[in-house]
Structure 1
Amino acid sequence: MTKKRIIFTGGGSAGHVTPNIAIINELNSEEWDIQYIGSKNGIEKEIIEKIKIPYFSISSGKLRRYMDWDNVKDIFRVLKGCLEARKILKTQRPSLVFSKGGFVSVPVILAAKSLNIPIFIHESDMTPGLANSISKRFATKIFTSFEEAVQYFPNRKTKAIGSPIRKDVLSGSKEKGLNLLGFQDKKPVIVVMGGSLGAKKINDTVRVCLKELLQHYQIVHLCGKGNLDKKLEAIKGYRQFEYVHDELPDILASADFVITRGGSNAIFEFLALNKPMIIIPLTRKQSRGDQILNAKSFEKKGYSITLEEEDLTKESLYKKLKELHEKKMDFKTAMKNSGKSNALNILLDEINKQD
């Protein structure tokens, strides 16, 4: 049987790559030949090469919503990327291009459209990034994580399905997690996550109220690279890591609550795991505000509590945790009834329909 070929694209951040990996991991390798197009030096290159998927590099420019002289240079980089992507696609002849966005995806989508190759797009956030705003007119089908995002895309080809979740994240063992951490099953466990680089204000606030928190909880603190505090290493009921990889599913299985940023991929993983959460989104000074919108949507639906970073103090964090604990079952019931844990299977079904 001749294999069908699919080419994934997306990059600039891990959030534009990990949902692609969730799909890649579940595609039947006997039916599909899987390849990836990304930038020459982006994070996607490092991530994809680790899982040994054939990787093609193209030129790409940064897409900006503001005036900058670099925009002129980047027009030529994007044009060069379009020519490079078209050459790759013409040679490889995929049945489908699947994009998770990021600036590197635009040349790939333009090239695919010029060759009449079907294009699927998935948008993670409440409002589309600039890449998907440009690419939406060329897509065959568009999928979104949030219902609220559908309004920004052509209605006839757009469907809200949630976010594709890596199946390994859902297969953790609570017992293994507790053993790994040296915790007991007597106090609830809080996982604190600020992203791969950590979040200074979240880290500092958790550590300032650590004594009070540890009276009621056990805490796993994923504090980001270079953010360990060696003075806290010996404290019972508190474990800190820069980051974790293979151990993450077991650690999340052991968690009762999560304190997190508002990145779409992460919060949809916690939703699928039914973990009540406090979301502390990036501020508008740090981002385009997408995490704030994500957090408000989840709070409105009863999945989480929002705590703005500007309002984050020892007292406000403790107050929100108390509320989360007291209403734990309400949150878990809303999350179980969300219907947003099947996105991966929906995407796999749609991909497998392609000739």
Structure 2
Amino acid sequence: MKKILLTGGGTAGHVTPNLALIPGLKEMGYEIRYIGSHNGIEKKLIEKEGLFYYGISSGKLRRYFDRKNFTDPFRVLKGYSDAKRVMREYQPDILFSKGGFVSVPVVLAAKKYKIPVIIHESDMTPGLANKLAIPHAVKVCHTFPETASHLPREKAVLTGSPIRRELLAGSREAGLALCGFEEEKPVILIIGGSQGSVIVNETVRKILPALLEKYQLIHLCGKGNLDPALEGRRGYCQFEYATDSLKELFAITDIVISRAGSNAICEFLALKKPSILIPLSAKASRGDQILNAESFRRQGFSEVILQEDLTGRSLMDMIQKIFADRGVYLEAMEQNPVRDGVETILDLIRTYSK
């Protein structure tokens, strides 16, 4: 039996693509284990899948000054030692890395023991962790066509992002029943990211009465961000977040309003959901969401409102534009050449397993 080690952590975005690969890897007969940090979000998500999990020491790699910059290098060195022990013990045939700071010592340890490494880069430009890991990989999968210019030509493979199969299997009837929505009235899904977005939440609620005249709204507003005053409002259904029910919510959605994390927007593309993207500002991130959103706009899948331009009026105008031209966005999505990130990546794993 072939053995694969998966890694990636720090955020859910560094884990969910790995989760999307697991059913296919099992069908291919691979034994699967995961290596991540001791207490990161990846530990909870992976153990929920029933996989064997190795926890290692990890330290964050920063481009800015922080007191932890003096101690975290020692955590990274300890993580490298931990990862080498895992490689000796498990002896995987291949390592698949989704990135995040925990992945760097794991990739280096795999290289030391001549274990082939495949990396996936979700964003338009590689983050620091993947920049450090790319020289040691046999192939680098990427989501956006533009990313190829930032990668070694002989390693770059345009795969798109692996999409969880269950998201494609939602029931429209179940979604309508869950939200108590009408069959005919259009539905907008608002997603503010895993923690929610205060500015998106406030802007949507500011124009809620006007929106409800023409649309029904599903609002995933983040932990602690429910508005009790809006409970039971006809045509408005709010959740802190959705996990098992997300596929049903997507099944009844006509358009999405969202941040621009790469995994999320690739799910919208796979599900053929036109979107209005409100990327995190460059002040709050390295600017990757802005680049992601602009790529989707250029490809005709989405429209973009920069956070500093977000108002009730700009959002309402963009919603009307998306609905008026919805067929144009759907046609662009249908013509997208990147079809199945999961199958392409599984083929690479099969090819490069030693």
Q: Tell me the TM-score normalized by structure 1.
A: 0.97
1:95 aligns with 2:93: yes
Equivalent pair of 1:6/1:32 in contact (CA under 8 Å): yes
**1:186, distance to aligned residue in structure 2 (A):** 1.5
Instruction: Go from structure 1 to structure 2 and tell me whether the alpha carbon gap of 1:68 and 1:235 turns closer, same or farther (over 3 Å shift).
Output: closer
Deviations 1:90-140 (A, max 9, x none): 111100000000000000000000110000000000011100000000001
Deviations 1:14-65 (A, max 9, x none): 0000000000122125721100010011111111111111000111111011
- Stretch moving more, 268-277 or 170-179: 170-179
1:173 to 163, 171, 175: 171
Deviations 1:295-351 (A, max 9, x none): 000001100000111111111110000110111000000011112231111011121
The separation in 1 between residues aligned to 2:339 and 2:173, in whole angstroms, is: 23
DSSP 3-state at the match of 1:127:
coil
Runs of 4+ in 1 over 3 A off after TM superposition: none
**1:180, distance to aligned residue in structure 2 (A):** 1.4
DSSP 3-state at the match of 2:47:
helix
Aligned residue number for residue 344 of structure 2:
346
1:14 to 12, 15, 19: 12
Q: Give the RMSD, CA atoms, in angstroms.
A: 1.1
Aligned residue number for residue 151 of structure 2:
153
The separation in 1 between residues aligned to 2:250 and 2:343, in whole angstroms, is: 22
Percent identity over the alignment? 51
Instruction: Go from structure 1 to structure 2 and tell me whether the alpha carbon gap of 1:144 and 1:68 turns closer, same or farther (over 3 Å shift).
Output: same
**1:80, distance to aligned residue in structure 2 (A):** 1.1
DSSP 3-state at the match of 1:154:
coil
1:218 to 183, 192, 216: 216
Aligned residue number for residue 62 of structure 2:
64
The separation in 2 between residues aligned to 1:203 and 1:347, in whole angstroms, is: 36
The separation in 1 between residues aligned to 2:302 and 2:31, in whole angstroms, is: 39
Equivalent pair of 1:198/1:227 in contact (CA under 8 Å): yes
- Stretch moving more, 301-310 or 70-79: 70-79
The separation in 2 between residues aligned to 1:321 and 1:67, in whole angstroms, is: 41
Aligned residue number for residue 331 of structure 1:
329
Aligned residue number for residue 49 of structure 1:
47
Aligned residue number for residue 187 of structure 2:
189
1:113 aligns with 2:111: yes
**1:67, distance to aligned residue in structure 2 (A):** 3.5
Aligned residue number for residue 23 of structure 2:
25
1:36 aligns with 2:27: no
DSSP 3-state at the match of 2:154:
helix
Residue type of the alignment partner of 1:46:
K
Equivalent pair of 1:163/1:343 in contact (CA under 8 Å): yes
1:231 to 207, 211, 229: 229
Residue type of the alignment partner of 1:251:
L
Instruction: Go from structure 1 to structure 2 and tell me whether the alpha carbon gap of 1:58 and 1:180 turns closer, same or farther (over 3 Å shift).
Output: same
The separation in 1 between residues aligned to 2:345 and 2:2, in whole angstroms, is: 16
The separation in 2 between residues aligned to 1:332 and 1:147, in whole angstroms, is: 19
Listed as ranges, the gaps of 5+ residues in structure 1 are: none
DSSP 3-state at the match of 1:27:
helix
Listed as ranges, the gaps of 5+ residues in structure 2 are: none
Q: Tell me the TM-score normalized by structure 2.
A: 0.98
The separation in 1 between residues aligned to 2:46 and 2:151, in whole angstroms, is: 29
**1:148, distance to aligned residue in structure 2 (A):** 0.9
DSSP 3-state at the match of 1:325:
helix
Residue type of the alignment partner of 1:87:
R
DSSP 3-state at the match of 1:349:
helix
1:138 to 136, 142, 150: 136
2:82 to 63, 78, 84: 84
DSSP 3-state at the match of 1:156:
coil
Deviations 1:78-97 (A, max 9, x none): 11111110111011110000
Residue type of the alignment partner of 1:333:
E
Residue type of the alignment partner of 2:237:
R
**1:69, distance to aligned residue in structure 2 (A):** 4.1
The separation in 1 between residues aligned to 2:6 and 2:27, in whole angstroms, is: 15
Instruction: Go from structure 1 to structure 2 and tell me whether the alpha carbon gap of 1:74 and 1:212 turns closer, same or farther (over 3 Å shift).
Output: same
Q: How many residues align?
A: 353
Aligned residue number for residue 283 of structure 2:
285
